[in-house]
Chains A and B, each alone.
Chain A
Amino acid sequence: MWLYYFNNLVASFPFFLKGVWTTVIVSLLSLVGGTILGFCIGIGRNSRIRVLRYSLAIYVDFMRGTPFLVQIFIVFFIFPEWGIQLEAFQAAVFSLTLYAGAYISEIVAGGISTISPGQTEAAMSGGLNWFQRLWFVIMPQALRPILPPLVGQYVLLIKDSSVISVIGLTDVTRVGWLTVQRIPEGLMVFGLVGILYFSICYPLIRLSNWFEKRLTIEKWTV
């Protein structure tokens, strides 16, 4: 019987690959958007404009303090009541981008905070404006403490993306749920789901480790 189910699973593999594709596309778009958003917010948290600092802090705290599931429900089910109708795919990418942005902003702000204030003072004394200071002096140095945990965060976000299955998107997790109704071997089906997530995430984990090693550029370390 087990062999029958296994053969059935193998035959369903293309369906799983479609699921992988959805997971990858949604994750990719959200991570790119979330990274851009995260950098903007992370930099904005150090602004001199108090209103900006406070509103960003509230946003980040809210996004990090509530479950992603709740956030995606609000976007998909509650926004239409306010006149904003999004398709499942759009809602997923939108929510995941906002969610990712909040977590990434913490990593970015943390990285920036490791740079000694003397660097900013030296750049100010040279007459550089805030953008020039950020671009030429602060960010190149901040990328070192930012990149390894950033890639680690990508892995977490890809795994969190499994939540999009509840609004009907056919990602890997949803394919698993649908398949297990036909092939009632939970371990087999979700074992495959796990392996597929792992194969997406593992290269990123290796990349993160590689960054950590390579970014310790000896000639910069005072």
Chain B
Amino acid sequence: MIQFTHVHKWFGKLHVLNDINLTVSAGEVAVICGPSGSGKSTLIRCINKLEPIVSGEILVDGIQVHDKHTSLTRLRAEIGFVFQQFNLYPHMTALDNVTLAPMKVRKTSRKEAEESGMILLEKVGIQDKAKAYPAQLSGGQQQRVAIARGLAMHPKIMLFDEPTSALDPEMINEVLDVMRKLANEGMTMVVVTHEMGFAREVSSHIIFMDQGQIVEVGTPTDFFENPKNDRTRLFLSKILTH
């Protein structure tokens, strides 16, 4: 479903993605973790071309992401993206946030879009806030609306860039619950996160990155119990002691 082949990216002199080779199959949940500056956010943002790459190839469902002839509209309709800062449209209600893309990109009628939108808002547990504006919602509620918005185009893949990092601790679980539900329904997901409990429970494999390179990839069991690389061990020791 998602395939990185020898992907490189530089920001000026910084080699932010260094020979990335990665495969995520349909239905899998890949978790990417690592210290800040390791390139994990950049990596996930290359999947829907929010960031360009310098060399290498990224294929999403057979489509070449970085080919200039690729229709970005069609590509992005198959990929939902959830941001750390939510990025909800503040001048629109929760329901309008969810229905905007289907109505404008897929040309769905307002009635149909709102019906589907309400089903999605129900799925994330927030249907009674459909007419509320983002400013009237808590962080956890906003992020759940953002997830519903990401699902609005019925994408094949959902990408999450540190979805809970900007949330107060009490709200983290409500968002993780929604993500667990999605994973159990078979959605292909790539999640950049520090939530190791979630990673252990839900992921098919965990990818550890450091300084632009993929250092280690393993199943949750292998990763947490038998890390092969010293850098992985170091990272785990720091992150698992609280």
Which A residues fall within an 8 A CB radius of B?
116, 118-119, 121-129, 132, 136-137, 140-141, 218-222
Which B residues fall within an 8 A CB radius of A?
48, 50, 72-74, 76-77, 79-81, 83, 85, 87-91, 100-101, 104-105, 133-136, 149-150, 152-153
A222 touches B50 (CB 8 A): no
Q: Which residues of B contact A123 (CB under 8 A)?
A: 89
Q: Which residues of A contact B134 (CB under 8 A)?
A: 222
Q: Which residues of A contact B50 (CB under 8 A)?
A: 121, 124-125
A125 touches B135 (CB 8 A): no
Interface CB pairs A-B, < 8 A, 11 = A121-B81, A121-B87, A122-B88, A124-B48, A125-B48, A126-B76, A128-B104, A129-B73, A136-B89, A220-B91, A221-B90
The number of residue pairs between A and B whose CB atoms lie closer than 8 Å in the complex comes to 73
Q: A136-B100, A141-B91 are in contact. Are A127 and B73 (CB under 8 A)?
A: yes
Give, as a whole number of angstroms, the nearest-CB distance from A147 to chain B: 14
Docked pose: A76 CA to B74 CA in angstroms: 52
Give, as a whole number of angstroms, the nearest-CB distance from A79 to chain B: 43
19 further A-B contacts with Cβ under 8 Å, apart from A121-B81, A122-B88, are: A116-B85, A118-B85, A122-B87, A122-B89, A124-B48, A124-B72, A124-B76, A125-B79, A125-B81, A126-B149, A127-B76, A127-B101, A128-B100, A129-B73, A132-B104, A219-B135, A220-B90, A220-B91, A220-B135
Docked pose: A5 CA to B96 CA in angstroms: 66
Docked pose: A129 CA to B104 CA in angstroms: 9
Q: Which residues of B contact A220 (CB under 8 A)?
A: 90-91, 133, 135
Docked pose: A128 CA to B92 CA in angstroms: 16
Give, as a whole number of angstroms, the nearest-CB distance from B31 to chain A: 20
Docked pose: A118 CA to B146 CA in angstroms: 13
Q: Which residues of B contact A119 (CB under 8 A)?
A: 87, 89
**Of the residues B73, B80, B83, B101, contact of A118 by C-beta under 8 Å:** B83
A127 touches B87 (CB 8 A): no
Q: Which residues of A contact B105 (CB under 8 A)?
A: 126-128, 132
Q: Which residues of A contact B91 (CB under 8 A)?
A: 140-141, 220
Q: Which residues of A contact B83 (CB under 8 A)?
A: 118, 121-122
B81 touches A141 (CB 8 A): no
Give, as a whole number of angstroms, the nearest-CB distance from A111 to chain B: 14
Q: Which residues of B contact A132 (CB under 8 A)?
A: 104-105
B135 touches A126 (CB 8 A): no
Q: Which of A125, A140, A222 has the most CB of B within 10 A?
A: A125
Q: Which residues of A contact B88 (CB under 8 A)?
A: 122
A125 touches B80 (CB 8 A): yes
Q: Which of A127, A128, A132, A136 has the most CB of B within 10 A?
A: A127
Q: Which residues of B contact A118 (CB under 8 A)?
A: 83, 85, 87
Give, as a whole number of angstroms, the nearest-CB distance from A190 to chain B: 46
Docked pose: A121 CA to B79 CA in angstroms: 13
Give, as a whole number of angstroms, the nearest-CB distance from B65 to chain A: 13
B77 touches A127 (CB 8 A): yes
Docked pose: A123 CA to B85 CA in angstroms: 14
Docked pose: A155 CA to B139 CA in angstroms: 42
Q: A127-B76, A219-B135 are in contact. Are A141 and B101 (CB under 8 A)?
A: no
Docked pose: A136 CA to B90 CA in angstroms: 12
Chain A residue with Cβ nearest B134: A222
Give, as a whole number of angstroms, the nearest-CB distance from A1 to chain B: 63
B90 touches A222 (CB 8 A): yes
Q: Which residues of A contact B80 (CB under 8 A)?
A: 125
Which 9 residue pairs across A and B have the least CB separation, nearest first? A126-B101, A122-B87, A125-B81, A118-B87, A127-B76, A127-B105, A222-B135, A219-B133, A127-B77
Chain B residue with Cβ nearest A138: B89
Give, as a whole number of angstroms, the nearest-CB distance from B121 to chain A: 16
Give, as a whole number of angstroms, the nearest-CB distance from A139 to chain B: 10
**Of the residues A129, A137, A221, contact of B89 by C-beta under 8 Å:** A137
Q: Which residues of B contact A137 (CB under 8 A)?
A: 89, 100
